[in-house]
């Protein structure tokens, strides 16, 4: 499986996916730290990929997403954006709603 296929699979399998530097508990950059913190504040589980451990994804994802920087938040297969957008949505209460609705929807699908 090539890198782009792996990215597509990760995004498809994880309704809430954060590509970041480091991990939510041990972020390796300030922007990733702020993004993970905002997501964790929403109170729902999310998947993440540490791009520092996956140089192939780090190289390919910006081209695939047409978004040059990290972190990148993907919700239900759609690129939401990077740190600035995540924090802006969080401050306006939009991120909490989006994350909660996505988690609820996917929970009900699992239980159906």
84 is in an annotated binding site: yes
25 is in an annotated binding site: no
6 is in an annotated binding site: no
58 is in an annotated binding site: yes
21 is in an annotated binding site: yes
- 20-59 burial, b for 16+ CB within 10 Å, e for fewer? bbbbbeebeeebbbbbbebbeebebebebbbbeebeebbe
CA-derived radius of gyration, the chain? 13
42 is in an annotated binding site: no
Q: Which residues are annotated as a binding site for [2Fe-2S] cluster?
A: 29
Q: Which residues are annotated as a binding site for glutathione?
A: 21, 58, 70, 83-84
Q: Which residues are annotated as a binding site?
A: 21, 29, 58, 70, 83-84
């Amino acid at each position: 499986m090539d890198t782009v296929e792996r990215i597509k699979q990760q995004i498809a399998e994880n309704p809430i996916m954060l590509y970041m530097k480091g991990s939510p508990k041990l972020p390796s950059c300030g922007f990733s730290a702020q993004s993970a913190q905002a997501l964790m504040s929403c109170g729902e589980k999310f998947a993440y990929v540490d791009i520092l451990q996956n140089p192939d994804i780090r190289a390919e994802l910006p081209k695939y997403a047409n978004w040059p920087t990290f972190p990148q938040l993907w919700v239900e297969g759609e690129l939401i954006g990077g740190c600035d957008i995540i924090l802006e949505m969080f401050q306006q209460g939009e991120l909490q709603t989006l994350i909660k609705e996505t988690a609820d929807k996917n929970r009900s699908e699992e239980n159906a």
